[in-house]
Amino acid sequence: MSSIASTSAKMASIASISKLPCNSLKNSSQNSKSAPIVASCSVNRVKFPALSTANSAKVKRDFSVRLVSDDEWGPDSEPSSAGVAVLEEKPSEIDVLKKQLVDSFYGTNRGLSASSETRAEVVELITQLEAKNPTPAPTEALPLLNGKWILAYTTFAGLFPLLSRGATFPLVKLEEISQTIDADNFTVQNSVLFSGPLATTAITTNAKFEVRSPKRVQIKFEGGVIGTPQLTDSIVLPENVEFLGQNIDLSPFKGLFASVQDTASSVAKTISSQPPLKFSISNKNAESWLLTTYLDDELRISRGDGGSIFVLIKEGSPLLTL
């Protein structure tokens, strides 16, 4: 009786196991006690919820799939019998337009030397960017306006005499024209940085601005400052220089040049110890308005009095290195 009960218990256990998702299948060879057991499992399909149209419309990114061979992963990577598909994000249309715009500035000296064809190309690219402006109300997005902006291109004729100084004074270089906006205090500081053989100096103008519309601000200049020269590194005299087709050896003049440099450095130190020179701005030039037609976190396009265009790039942006 005990053997019959034991056999019944075993049969009940087998019956209960057969009800599980995975069933044990015996090997076709009934005589082999060591035959392996192969398990077959049924897996339920999992359905993922589809993205709603409203959410998917917010993300407008293009991707491309690239097949990467084993060699691209380097010698230390695990070998693969087939290529690996890599998902790459394509630049947006705005990013492409911005790069094309900055590329068109090459050789124009911030717009001074731009040809008529280049000016037409710049205007076309600016028009396309303005139509895709991600910040339609710039004065309502003051944090984006905050910071230092570097002038990359302008059609403002009032700056052209300044931009042409490099040809008039070869030893004085116009390093940078910038505009720093403090949106918390509603102030604007325009700055022009010059560099010479031994020192740099900057001329700045300070102004207040008032918001007049979602795109327009009124600017009132209060005055300016001519900074005292700041000493730079000493000049490195080249071994030779070519002049009128002749190669001139400068090594005999190094001792004389060092003496002159020491004297000039002493004079520069005396000047740099003086306080900056402040100046006022006449009433007729004290006010102007500015319309921001494109704004994101690295590029700003503005139009001023008379339709002048200003294209500025935020300090630290990769666009400055293109």
With respect to residue 160, please indicate whether it lies within any of the assigned structural domains.
Answer: yes
Q: What is the pLDDT of residue 103?
A: 97
What is the average per-residue pLDDT within 43-62? Answer: 43
Q: What is the pLDDT of residue 225?
A: 83
With respect to residue 192, please indicate whether it lies within any of the assigned structural domains.
Answer: yes
Residue 114 in tokens? 């731009």
Query: What are the residues facing 200 on neighbouring strands?
Result: 195, 230
With respect to residue 260, please indicate whether it lies within any of the assigned structural domains.
Answer: yes
On the question of pLDDT at 228 being above 60, the answer is yes
With respect to residue 145, please indicate whether it lies within any of the assigned structural domains.
Answer: yes
pLDDT digits (tens, 9 = 90+) for 125-154: 999 999 999 999 999 999 999 999 999 999
Look over the chain and give the mean of its residue pLDDT values, rounded to a whole number: 73
Which carries the bigger pLDDT value, residue 232 or residue 14? 232
What is the average per-residue pLDDT within 310-317? Answer: 97
Q: What is the pLDDT of residue 49?
A: 46
d(CA 74, CA 303): 51
pLDDT digits (tens, 9 = 90+) for 284-297: 667 889 999 999 99
What is the average per-residue pLDDT within 89-93? Answer: 88
pLDDT digits (tens, 9 = 90+) for 174-206: 889 999 999 999 999 999 988 876 677 888 999
Three-class SS of the chain: CHHHHHHHHHHHHHHHHCCCCEEEECCCCCCCCCCCCEEEECCCCCCCCCCCHHHHHHCCCCEEEEEECHHHHCCCCCCCCCCEEEEEECCCHHHHHHHHHHHHCCCCCCCCCCCHHHHHHHHHHHHHHHHCCCCCCHHHCHHHHCEEEEEEEECCHHHHHHHCHHHHCCCCEEEEEEEEEECCCCEEEEEEEEECCCEEEEEEEEEEEEECCCCEEEEEEEEEEECCCEECCCCCCCCEEEECCEEEECHHHHHHHHHHHHHHHHHHHHHHCCCCEEECCCHHHCEEEEEEEEECCCEEEEECHHHCEEEEEECCCHHHHC
Q: What is the pLDDT of residue 203?
A: 87
In Å, what is the CA distance from 194 to each residue of 52, 94, 102, 227, 234? 56, 33, 23, 10, 16
pTM (two decimals): 0.63
Look at the chain and report how many structural domains it folds into: 1
CB count within 10 Å of CB 47 equals: 6
What is the average per-residue pLDDT within 205-209? Answer: 92
With respect to residue 112, please indicate whether it lies within any of the assigned structural domains.
Answer: yes
Q: What is the pLDDT of residue 201?
A: 81
User: Phi and psi at residue 244, in whole multiples of 5°?
Assistant: 55, 40
d(CA 29, CA 41): 22
Q: What is the pLDDT of residue 198?
A: 67
d(CA 119, CA 126): 10
Residue ranges making up the domain that contains 214: 93-316
On the question of pLDDT at 3 being above 60, the answer is no
With respect to residue 71, please indicate whether it lies within any of the assigned structural domains.
Answer: no
Contacts of 209 (CB under 8 A, 6+ apart): 186, 187, 188, 217, 218, 219, 220, 290
pLDDT digits (tens, 9 = 90+) for 255-267: 655 665 566 566 5
Which carries the bigger pLDDT value, residue 70 or residue 217? 217
d(CA 198, CA 234): 6
Q: What is the pLDDT of residue 137?
A: 96
Which carries the bigger pLDDT value, residue 269 or residue 279? 279
Q: What angle is formed at CA 302 by the lines to CA 123 and CA 159, rounded to 5 degrees? A: 85
Q: What is the CATH number of the domain that holds 103?
A: 2.40.128.280
Q: What is the pLDDT of residue 40?
A: 41
With respect to residue 59, please indicate whether it lies within any of the assigned structural domains.
Answer: no
Share of the chain above pLDDT 70, in %: 54
On the question of pLDDT at 34 being above 80, the answer is no
Q: Could you tell me how far CA 286 lies from the centroid of its own chain? A: 33
Contact predicate 180/148, CB 8 Å: yes
With respect to residue 103, please indicate whether it lies within any of the assigned structural domains.
Answer: yes
Contact predicate 224/279, CB 8 Å: yes
